[in-house]
Amino acid sequence: MSETNTLYVDRDAYHDFVVGDRHVMLHVPSTGIFDLDEMSGSIVDFVRGKHSVTFDEIRQRFEQTPNPSALAESIDDLKSLGILKDRTPTPDGGAGVSVQEFPLSTIVINVNTGCNLSCTYCYKEDLTTPAKGEKMELEKAKKSIDLLIHEGRNRKQLNVVFFGGEPLTNMPLIRDVTAYAEARCAAEGKQVDFSLTTNATMLTEEIVDYFDAHRFGISISMDGPEAVHDARRKTVGGKGTYEVVAAKSRMLLARYKSRPVGARVTLTAGYSDVATIHRHLKDDIGFAEVGFAPVTGNPITTFNLVGEELKAVFESMKSLGREYVEAAVADRNIGFSNMHQMLSDLYEGRKKALPCGAGIGLLAVDHKGELNLCHRFTGSELPTFGNVETGIDKPQLGAFLDKALDRSERGCSTCRIRNLCSGGCYHESYANFSDPHSPVYHYCELLRDWVDFGIEAYLEILEKNPAFLQRHVANRSSEL
């Protein structure tokens, strides 16, 4: 028994809700998900909304319980989880560590700022036409690979991502870098993986066969049926690109055998019917997976999803998520990437101190050889963190990450999904608030609701067809 006869309730350490006939709790510090038994659930219900509770109050509430030992055990369990405490709880200020090491696993090489399309919503600040594009020099690209191998010396698997602009506008560099990376990694006893996202317009059978031979991970930018796609994804001359992208994608999917190919959809204001877009790209075109990225931070605000329309997008994603669950229970994978990724986080029990690997596991190299936080920041005004000649500016990058790790002055310190979201995308925050460390406050509540939905979906699949999670969720990183 506590010396003060009082237990304090850490309301920010848990989030409980009912799923069917189950009382479920998300343990926020660990991101673990637990079923509450009848006694533990009753205690959680009793202390709900309270700052503290005395043992006398507990005795009075549960004096009729037929099993006092179960009551004591449940209290001890809740204390061990940090939900009941002997002293006043404090907000979660973060991991309380300083970043000293930067074990890279991924380097993003910005092969060309030029792109043959002029998508209306593009966030890239250094984007230009292919003729005016600034291509990366081979020597800078080679030094990018050398930097990756040096900083990732303790990694067995390294990843090279080619980015643009449109990366296929500099296919000779991709070939040269691939050959160089394969040779260097083989000499170091490491495995290397390549990936890129392309608008597909420049794909040829020969290029597809090359990617197949080197097992590239490929993602196609495509926004849905013709009317939706052509409204935003246009050539420099203003012509819609659906017909060529659909034809090239079908050629790719028929010819490419090494790995599943996914589609990446950008959702903008006025074009947000998730289910219709998904069905077209998955069923009509044939992509293995379809993922959605809502636009909320574009400098041209007319494209941004806000207010009720943004809320409607999340409701549409939940509707598609219910189809995903129904299919999963029937042992079918309908390829909804957003759902797949969330279930992967829950299945693996990931706990994020930082929102992503940018700066620790990943850096992006622009055409000048400067090291950017990620590919979204190339061409922006955010300071870079060294270059491929001199290496990572570790004091500067460490200071940036230390600030990101510190939640003490942010709403994240009391948020129930703080260890699943950890503040959200740096670039999303930078675009909205001119501060990469600001939480994505404009859709925090929607994200919390999305995670609640994900937990319910996860528990239903876990109960009715756990083999689906083992086959498709646990192996996600190796499938795509």
Q: What is the CATH number of the domain that holds 373?
A: 3.20.20.70
Please state, in angstroms and rounded to a whole number, the distance separating the CA atoms of residues 39 and 186: 58
Reported in sequence order, the residue ranges of 320-472 that DSSP labels E, i.e. its strands, are: 362-365, 371-372, 386-387, 391-392
Q: State CA 33 to chain mean position distance.
A: 20
Q: Scanning the structure block, which residue is given the tokens 């966030």?
A: 123
pLDDT the model gives residue 298: 64
189-240 pLDDT, tens digit each: 999 999 999 999 999 999 999 999 999 999 999 999 999 999 889 988 889 9
Q: Is the pLDDT of residue 321 over 50?
A: yes
Looking at residue 40, its amino acid is S
pLDDT band at 300 (very low <50, low <70, confident <90, very high): low
Residue 453, in any domain of the structure? no
* Residue after which a domain boundary falls, among 382, 411, 428: 382
Residue 405, in any domain of the structure? no
Q: Are residues 65 and 161 in the same domain?
A: no
Please state, in angstroms and rounded to a whole number, the distance separating the CA atoms of residues 326 and 333: 10
Q: Are residues 41 and 145 in the same domain?
A: no
* Residue after which a domain boundary falls, among 360, 382, 404: 382
Q: Cβ(43)–Cβ(63) under 8 Å?
A: no
Reference 282, options 333, 231, 329; nearest CA is: 333
Q: Cβ(91)–Cβ(29) under 8 Å?
A: no
Residue 468, in any domain of the structure? no
- Domains of the chain: total: 2
pTM (two decimals): 0.92
Q: Considering just the CA atoms, what is the radius of gyration of the chain in Å?
A: 25
Q: Are residues 71 and 184 in the same domain?
A: no
pLDDT band at 295 (very low <50, low <70, confident <90, very high): confident
Question: Looking at residues 247-275, what average pLDDT do you find?
Answer: 93
Q: Are residues 78 and 112 in the same domain?
A: no
Residue 290, in any domain of the structure? yes
94-153 pLDDT, tens digit each: 988 999 999 999 999 999 988 888 787 776 666 566 667 789 999 999 999 999 999 999
Worst-scoring range by mean pLDDT, 128-132, 345-349, 389-393, 417-421?
128-132
Residue range of the domain that includes 314: 106-382
